[in-house]
Amino acid sequence: MAITAAGTVTPLSVNCGPLEGSTGGGLYSYAAGRPLRQITVEASSSNTGNLYLLPRSNTAAGNPGNIIGVLAAGASVTIPSSLLDGNGITPETLVLDTDAASGTQYAYGYGVRG
């Protein structure tokens, strides 16, 4: 995933193909894609700035209290979901943002289906 500029968030579902669901055009309107049991996101080791994992419709600068994880170059974060319940995590509900002056940053990720 390429995160091009601060405030221009990239949804984790950007490369999920038919599993990505639909954002429906509204800020909070989406059709859920395939729920995942776990999502792991790793920042490229060549990044020069931080990446910020946030709920959809948030930016790091505008919603600092909503940051789920901060990924420095080469760092990763894993978000698990209970294997016993019927719920999962949909990647279109999460986005990545970056630092203001760091230029394009890259992240890699994968999800585990249950």
What order of strands is seen across the sheet that includes strand 69-71? 10-11, 94-98, 51-55, 69-71
Question: Taking a C-beta distance cutoff of 8 angstroms, is the pair 77, 41 a contact?
Answer: yes
Other beta carbons within 10 Å of 51: 29
- At 66-97, the pLDDT tens digits run 999 999 999 999 988 665 556 778 888 889 99
Domain ranges of the chain: 2-112
Question: Taking a C-beta distance cutoff of 8 angstroms, is the pair 69, 22 a contact?
Answer: no
Output the pLDDT for position 28: 45
The mean pLDDT of 100-109, rounded to a whole number, is 86
- At 5-62, the pLDDT tens digits run 998 999 888 877 655 555 555 444 445 566 788 889 999 999 999 999 999 899 999 9
pTM of the entire structure? 0.82
